[in-house]
Chain A
Amino acid sequence: MRRYVQTPGPIGRFSELSLAQRAGPLDLLYTGYGLLVVAVVVASYVLGAFGWLPDDPQAINVGLINAPPFTSGHLLGTDFLGRDLQARLILGIQAYFLPGLLAITISLAGGSILGVLAGYKGGWFDTIITYFDNLLDSFPRLVLILLVIAAFKPDIYYVMVVVGITGMPVIANLIAGKIAFLRQMSFIEAAHALGLPAHTVVLKHILWLNCRALLVIQATLGMAEAILVETSLSYLGFGVQEPTPSWGNMVQAGANYFLQGNFWPSTAPALAILATILGLQLLGDGLNNLLEGKRRK
């Protein structure tokens, strides 16, 4: 059954309807959960950066190894060396937070430039981007990252530059597609006819007003991607090295004790990864529905 209800208040002012009036309940749930995850991650990053941790993440306590949650003094239990899991989880955010921001900055900036060139200028820019896209698509990303690690050094920032660059074509394509769509409408031409300078048209009317929602959505998805890459690499031992905690190497370290029944030390960081990535993905999805007003796919 579908209900049709007129919104109270001034009619036809779509922009002033509250989010709840514009969106379906699921979109709000997704976005709300996603925003909560982002808030927790950012707050934890700040806590970790200032060292305001519930416990010393490096303090070894051999008397209390692989403790379950809610052990006194250790809310989330301890790992195989008796280190506090909660503190290590919070500190583990340091491993991906800034590198992830670097990756999405690179992919958003590069993708926007390429997308605008392809969509606005067209011609051979379009061809270059298609080839670039095909090239990256045909090359497994993890192999590329391992190549970079082998060629330079196992630094997470090097890896994130690769993640950023490989994320560019997706955004470039989306923006080029958006511009192609906008071109059917004549407002870009009209803006030129009104004498607006080209940079105003591109930066304000195309990128800011028409692509900002798309960029925010891609930023959340890009962050999820970056976290996944960081944790996978750390899990494989190519990323952050013990004793510095990362969610990836925590899962790996805990996995050795998994079959002995101590599933918690690796499950806790795994759940953290799951919750975070799910949150970012759902945030992207929810924002897409709220801001772009249509379902993906």
Chain B
Amino acid sequence: MDAGTLLAIENLRTYFYSRAKRAFIRSVDGVSLGVARGETLGIVGESGSGKSVTALSAAGLVTAGPGVISGRVDLHSNGTRRNLLDGLENYARFTEQDGRVMAVEKDERGWRKHSDRLMAGVRGKEIAMIFQNPRSALNPYSTIGKQLVETIRLHTNFKGEREAKERAIHWLERVRIDSPGLRFDNFPFGLSGGMCQRAMIAMALSAEPSLLIADEPTTGLDATIQSRIVDLLAQLKTETGITTLLISHDISVIQRLSDRIAVMYGGTVVETGRAAEVLAPGATARHPYTAALLASIPSAETIRRKSYLQAIEGEVLDTIDVPRGCRFYGRCNRVTEAIRENCAGIEPPLAEIAPGHKVRCWLYPAAGKA
């Protein structure tokens, strides 16, 4: 990755275990992503595509077993590079067969202790997160002011009660909360969902982290509030220049905020590139899944013509039983006879079809060369 990279995820695999099926759920299966300093990388995909788990893995927040089993997460900050998964491979051993993980042995306690050691000083300070359902992400029995002051005193040099409070009110102002002095003493249930999300954003940003992970920040909010929160995130991005990893299933949110986009499907990245290119209207060079996703959002055009929205046929990939070939093969409507054999049997590589634009599909000749 180039010098401007802040976070580089390499070949990350996060599996969970289904006791009922005695099988691994391959939530994230070999994801490589890079987030450059100052940019917003949008990860988009259906529910269950592994986008949230990717972010949680990077922040060391996966608690269910076996969890993150391999990969690298490099955080470049303060001139140093830290692998946030460094040494964790000593705590999880897996046996592979035909390139597929068949068994994982993991020392959960050792893993968690080591992970907490690695993440100390990173979680909240370097990497901050905001979640969906902001109301439940705040402690209901404490005022938002107190919670904000707590993170400020923990992560910044504003250690005194008074200066931390001033700082907290400053941040409430920054996230456009009306009369922040009054709202400071409000409990989360006294505020609307949008206000809670603003408070949450203030808490995340108050530590002045290098990376903000926004995991479905608008899900669970009203449509009008959603658009206000998106506006706020856009404004804060221009004001602070913060690097953001934005996760959403809502393409319009991703479209408005992202510089680059990664489309995820079945635990892998199927397409990545500059937002303008990947989501360019009318572009033909894109992954069939991205095309299908785009066709499924109502545009002014489809509404005017009263035409039906295009649903993606079939169901989201069951990541327990991953097919040998392309993960999207079963739902793909652009398979041609020429490539059918490849699609069914061999997983396509993530091939560069234009500078900075990579697609994981046999439709593009670059895939054959890679």
Q: Which residues of A contact B (CB under 8 A)?
A: 12-15, 184-187, 189-196, 198, 200, 205, 209-210
Contact = CB atoms under 8 A, between A and B. Distances in A.
Contacts of B129: 190, 193-194
B136 A184 contact: yes
B61 A187 contact: no
Contacts of B139: 187, 191, 205, 209-210
A190 B141 contact: no
B186 A192 contact: no
Contact of A190 (B131, B142, B143, B190): B131
B138 A187 contact: yes
A195 B151 CA distance: 8
Interface string B146-161: 0000110011000000
Contacts of A192: 61, 123
5 contacts: A13-B185, A185-B133, A195-B151, A205-B142, A209-B141
B125 interface: yes
Given A184-B136, A187-B139, A193 B186 contact: no
B136 A195 contact: no
Given A194-B124, A194-B128, A189 B61 contact: yes
B156 to A, nearest CB: 12
A190 B128 contact: no
Nearest to A198: B116
B61 A185 contact: no
Given A190-B131, A195-B123, A185 B137 contact: yes
Contacts of B41: none
Contact of B187 (A14, A191, A193): A14
B361 interface: no
A196 B207 CA distance: 12
Nearest to A122: B63
Given A12-B190, A193-B61, A185 B207 contact: no
A190 B137 CA distance: 6
Q: Which 10 pairs between the two chains have the least Cβ-Cβ distance?
A: A195-B124, A185-B136, A193-B129, A190-B137, A209-B141, A195-B123, A194-B124, A186-B137, A12-B190, A187-B139
Contact of A194 (B116, B133, B141, B151): B151
Given A14-B190, A186-B131, A196 B124 contact: yes
A195 B141 contact: no
A13 B190 contact: yes
A193 B213 CA distance: 10
Contact of B123 (A14, A194, A210): A194
Interface string B64-105: 000000000000000000000000000000000000000000
Given A193-B128, A195-B125, A195-B154, A186 B190 contact: no
Interface string B183-204: 0011101100000000010011
Contact of A196 (B135, B136, B154): B154
Contacts of A194: 123-124, 128-129, 151, 154, 203-204, 207
Contact of A193 (B124, B136, B155, B189): B124
A292 to B, nearest CB: 11
A185 B140 contact: yes
B187 A15 contact: yes
A185 B124 CA distance: 19
Contact of B131 (A15, A189, A196): A189
Contacts of A14: 187, 189-190
A191 B155 CA distance: 13
B44 interface: no
Contact of B151 (A185, A196, A210): A196
B187 A186 contact: no
